[in-house]
Amino acid sequence: MTQERKSPGRASKYMNEAAVAGESGLEVYTVSHNLLLAHAEAIGVFRNNPKCKDGKIGIAHCPVWFEPFDMNCPDDKEACERAMEFMFGWEKITLIYLSTIQKAKGIFDFVGVNYYSAFYVKSIAEVDHNTPKWRSDARIEWRRHCDMDYEEKTKLSNLMDLQRTEYHKKHLQSIQQAIQEDGVEVEGYFAWSLLDNCE
């Protein structure tokens, strides 16, 4: 196994010929399930530690956002809903279940969301059940669109970095909308910089 592959490099052969072991259609769920159980166990230790009396503990997700590939296609709209449920829904249900277990009362004080990108999704009518994987379970195909040609932008626009400043402006506006209209308790918004992964 080379250093370039994600540890421990487990996958089905149809996903990665170099993998020595793994079941791509099963282990993604097993790992996620066990991570949530481990979180519940850690909560119990945290809550019972006198040194953590006034501390807060939460959980952070790294989801992907989805939009229908074709806004006029009912199947793609439904695929988008499925994609969101596969990304958020089943983990949310598990967290709610864990919060009903006595040892996991107060399962989190806050929820963090790390997000980096979004995809268009197209519905897949038929899947190959001999090669199961997360995306085929949801019957979706991820697609990327590139609507902007950087070479066509003016030099001034490139220097002013309008695309990224607009990105943050819209996100802050959406956060304000979530607070004012939906009553979401937002305690922070952090923008990662170039050096944040260099620590």
Q: CB under 8 Å to 69, separation ≥6 — which residues?
A: 76, 79, 120, 121, 122, 143
In Å, what is the CA distance from 119 to each residue of 55, 68, 122?
36, 9, 10
Helices 90-99 and 27-47, packing angle to 10 deg: 30
pLDDT score, position 172: 92
**At residue 160, does pLDDT exceed 80?**
no
pLDDT score, position 148: 43
Task: Please state the φ and ψ torsions of residue 150, each to the nearest 5 degrees.
Answer: -65, -30
* Helix H or strand E segment including 75: helix 74-84
Structure tokens at 145: 């669109």
Count of beta carbons in the 10 Å neighbourhood of residue 67: 15
Dihedral sign from CA coordinates of 88, 89, 91, 96:
positive
State the Cα–Cα distance between residues 65 and 177, nearest whole angstrom. Answer: 18
- Per the model's pLDDT, the better-predicted residue between 150 and 156 turns out to be 156
Length reported for the chain: 199
pLDDT score, position 159: 59
pLDDT score, position 166: 85
> Are the CB atoms for 180 and 172 separated by under 8 Å?
no
pLDDT 10s digits, 56-67:
988 888 888 888
Q: Which residue has the tokens 């009362």?
A: 105
- Per the model's pLDDT, the better-predicted residue between 144 and 119 turns out to be 119
Q: Classify residue 161 as left (phi > 0), alpha (psi -120 to 50) or beta.
A: left
DSSP 153: S
pLDDT 10s digits, 76-116:
999 999 998 888 876 676 666 666 654 556 677 888 888 77
Domain residue spans of the chain? 27-145, 149-183
